[in-house]
Amino acid sequence: MTSFSRSPAFKNEFPINKIFKRKHAAIGLAVTAVMTSSISAFAAGPTGGAVQVCSPDSNGQYYGSTGLSAGAPCGAIGGRPYNTSGVTLVGDTSTWADYVSVGNGQVAIAATNKITMSQYLNMTGNKFTGIANGDVTATSTDAVNGSQLFTTNQNVAQNTSDIAQNKSDIAQNTSDIAQNKTDIAGNTTAINNLNNGTAGLVQQAAAGAKLTVGKDTDGTTVDFADKSGNTRSLANLSASSLDAVNGSQLYATNQQVTQNTTDIANLNDQINSGALGLVQQDATTRNITVAKNSDGTIINFTGTAGARVLEGVANGAVNSASQQAVNGSQLYALANSTAASLGGGATVNSDDSITQPSYSVNGQTVNNVGDALSNLDGRVSQNTSDIADINNSLNNGTVGLVRQDQTTRNITVAKDTDGTVVDMTGTQGTRTVTGVTAGALTADSTDAVNGSQLYQTNLNVTNLQDQVTNIASASSVIASQKTDTPAIASGANSTAIGNGSKATGSNSVALGSGSVADEDNTVSIGSEGNERRLTKVAPGVKGTDAANMNQLNAVQNSVNTTARQAFSGVAAAMAMPNLTPSQPGKTVASVGVANYKGYTAVGVGATYRSANNRWLVNAAASITPSGDTGVRGQVGYEF
């Protein structure tokens, strides 16, 4: 291969643009063009084994390694025609104005050089290789290589697929957008409802109305915690009674709770010490009281399980004035006492009941006091009548120590008995004798005097005392030398006579040394422990007269006699037998003996049962040792 080296005659331009316009330059298979600058303005040429550079020069000469055949197209290099077959062109810059046709060979271009084409390049089925990535910009005129086109093709294919998918997606989006428009319209309404408070868990019927939370749902708790479980505060709340409370309210409540806690602790201490509550214990005496400062008359111990047992009860006082509770042992003792009093084999059972007694009354066995008394009723009725007669006699003053003459109406006290003292003292102390007629005030009088007489006497004595005082104060010769204790009458309208006597009661009289009249409207002739007898008292006549011992003894004797008669009557009634025949048509005759309070009686009786077993006839009689008798008859019909 022939290589053309750059010569001074070749300047920097390879002037083939002109000859290419007339002839072709054919580059065979073995042609390699090596340029140090550039090849520009290639035009496609015919294929062949030689490169037709140009026509012969003006001298008809061709230049080249092998030369050019006559008549062949030629080209000029440096002003001369050359046959470029197998030629390597070396130079800074070469310009091919028309074109270079490459057949089956190749053109190699240095990596630092480039080919610039002003028109076109015809490769006739061949290809360029080693083409660097061309610039891909809006103004780029660079060639692009296969990898760039492959990437572009891949992108185009992907774009084609994406466009197809996009068309489907766009169609779906169109439907979705239409649905979204509908949904957005509905959401807009819902959002507006939420904004104006007519929808959602938190609602407000109108501006200024109350807010409601979850009014149309169930649930019992409103939880304000955030997504992390942290609590929130609910601010600017009203202090009304049914609303949520705010911090200031809770602070005030906490302050009150603190105070309440202190108060409760104090109350607990007071309750535990027994100083507070319905049940309290005195810190000094240790006595326990129940509801002493409240009203009510009943203490109810009943609980949810029923009645309760009250334990630890000490023995209460058992008397007529006692208000103390009694315990079971006291009741048991009472039951034992009651059973013992009933007699007849009555006993207290383990269940607190009492076994019935068994009495034999007039030949019959009865098991309770009521039946026994009923059995005695008929006999006692007579006694009752007798006692009533005795009472009438006592009331009329015809029997007893105190009697009243039916003609003169004078009352006598124990006139038929002995004794020298009438004692008016009772269980509560001395008594006042009232209605006393003014007694005779004579040297031998034994009449009792009344208060008015003593009052007058006191007046007289007072007058005498005044006179004595006047005398003592008017004369130095007469003076009292008494050293005894003076009588004192400090009660209203009272009289005190005697050394050291005292009449402190209103309208009272104290007679005798040391006598004390400390009750209203009373006459005292002594003092407690220093009593006196009122002697020489005539038998009382009027209802308000004092009675003497004779009258009282007579009354006592009468009462004793009546009692003896009554006791004998009871014994006589008990002695009357009342036995019943065992069969119809039979008669039972019986004898009975009875004793009541030491008085005895004997009785006989007979009872007949009719043959038809319908009738019972009974008769009985009794007699006492004093000769008093009693009879009884009974008829009974059974149906």
What does the pLDDT read at residue 603?
Answer: 92
Average pLDDT in the 311-339 region? 85
Q: Which pLDDT tens digit goes with each residue over 213-229?
A: 878 888 888 877 888 88
User: Which is higher by pLDDT, 15 or 338?
Assistant: 338
Which class for 361: exposed (0-12), middle (13-18), buried (19 or more C-beta within 10 A)? middle
Q: Which of 562, 587, 592 is nearest to 577 (CA)?
A: 592
> How many other CB atoms sit within 10 Å of the CB of residue 255?
10
DSSP H or E stretch at residue 623: strand 615-623
Which amino acid would we find at residue 290?
V
* CA separation, residue 466 to residues 458, 461, 470, 472, 507 (Å): 12, 8, 6, 10, 21
pLDDT band at 453; cut points 50, 70, 90: confident
145 pLDDT higher than 80: yes
Name 117's Cβ contacts closer than 8 Å, sequence gap at least 6: 40, 41, 42
pLDDT band at 124; cut points 50, 70, 90: low
| Alpha carbons 39 and 116: distance in angstroms, whole number | 6
| Alpha carbons 114 and 101: distance in angstroms, whole number | 17
148 pLDDT higher than 80: yes
Average pLDDT in the 125-148 region? 84
Helix (H, G, I), strand (E, B) or coil at 218: coil
422 pLDDT higher than 90: no
What does the pLDDT read at residue 162?
Answer: 83
Q: Angle, to 10 degrees, between the axis of helix 549-575 and the axis of helix 369-396?
A: 150
374 pLDDT higher than 90: no
What does the pLDDT read at residue 23?
Answer: 36
pLDDT band at 518; cut points 50, 70, 90: very high
Helix (H, G, I), strand (E, B) or coil at 413: strand
Helix (H, G, I), strand (E, B) or coil at 173: helix
What does the pLDDT read at residue 584?
Answer: 92
pLDDT band at 267; cut points 50, 70, 90: confident
Phi, psi of 617 (to 5 degrees): -125, 130
What does the pLDDT read at residue 193?
Answer: 74
* CA separation, residue 384 to residues 165, 472, 566 (Å): 135, 71, 9
Phi, psi of 256 (to 5 degrees): -65, -40
**Beta-ladder partners of 595:** 600
Q: What share of the chain is helix, strand, coil (3-state, %, to 5)?
A: 30, 15, 55
What does the pLDDT read at residue 123?
Answer: 63
pLDDT band at 70; cut points 50, 70, 90: very low
What does the pLDDT read at residue 44?
Answer: 36
Average pLDDT in the 581-599 region? 92
What does the pLDDT read at residue 72?
Answer: 44
Average pLDDT in the 222-251 region? 73
What does the pLDDT read at residue 369?
Answer: 72
Q: Which of 541, 557, 523, 377 is nearest to 449 (CA)?
A: 523
What does the pLDDT read at residue 379?
Answer: 61
What does the pLDDT read at residue 514?
Answer: 92
The gap from C-alpha 428 to its chain's centroid, in whole angstroms, comes to 57
510 pLDDT higher than 70: yes
Percent of the chain with pLDDT over 70: 72
Average pLDDT in the 269-296 region? 80
What does the pLDDT read at residue 67?
Answer: 43
User: Which is higher by pLDDT, 129 or 320?
Assistant: 320
What does the pLDDT read at residue 596?
Answer: 92
Show the tokens assigned to 159: 């774009």
269 pLDDT higher than 90: no
593 pLDDT higher than 90: yes
Average pLDDT in the 31-37 region? 35
What does the pLDDT read at residue 261?
Answer: 87
Give the total residue count for the chain. Answer: 639
Average pLDDT in the 544-548 region? 89
Average pLDDT in the 166-172 region? 83
Name 365's Cβ contacts closer than 8 Å, sequence gap at least 6: 358, 359
| Alpha carbons 558 and 262: distance in angstroms, whole number | 80
Please, are residues 565 and 585 in contact by the beta-carbon 8 Å criterion? no
Phi, psi of 323 (to 5 degrees): -120, 20
Name 126's Cβ contacts closer than 8 Å, sequence gap at least 6: 102, 104, 106
The gap from C-alpha 21 to its chain's centroid, in whole angstroms, comes to 123
What does the pLDDT read at residue 299?
Answer: 85
Query: What does the domain layout of the chain look like in residue ranges?
Result: 1-129, 561-637
- Going by their DSSP bridges, the two strands 495-497 and 509-511 should be labelled as parallel
DSSP assignment, residue 500? T
508 pLDDT higher than 80: yes
Please, are residues 339 and 346 in contact by the beta-carbon 8 Å criterion? yes
Which amino acid would we find at residue 494?
S
Indicate the average pLDDT of the chain.
Answer: 75
408 pLDDT higher than 80: yes
Average pLDDT in the 137-145 region? 87
pLDDT band at 252; cut points 50, 70, 90: confident
Q: Which pLDDT tens digit goes with each residue over 10-27?
A: 333 333 333 333 333 333
Comparing 317-331, 511-525, 601-615, the range with the smallest average pLDDT is 317-331
pLDDT band at 631; cut points 50, 70, 90: very high
What does the pLDDT read at residue 242?
Answer: 64
The gap from C-alpha 633 to its chain's centroid, in whole angstroms, comes to 76
Q: Which of 186, 150, 189, 33 is nearest to 96 (CA)?
A: 33
| CA dihedral sign of residues 451, 457, 461, 464 | positive
What does the pLDDT read at residue 583?
Answer: 92
The three-state (H, E, C) secondary structure of 540-605, written as one string: CCCCCCCCCHHHHHHHHHHHHHHHHHHHHHHHHHHHCCCCCCCCCCCEEEEEEEEEECCEEEEEEE
CATH superfamily of 561-637: GSPII I/J protein-like (3.30.1300.30)
What does the pLDDT read at residue 26?
Answer: 37
Helices (runs of H) and strands (runs of E) counted in the chain: 6, 25
User: Which is higher by pLDDT, 473 or 153?
Assistant: 153
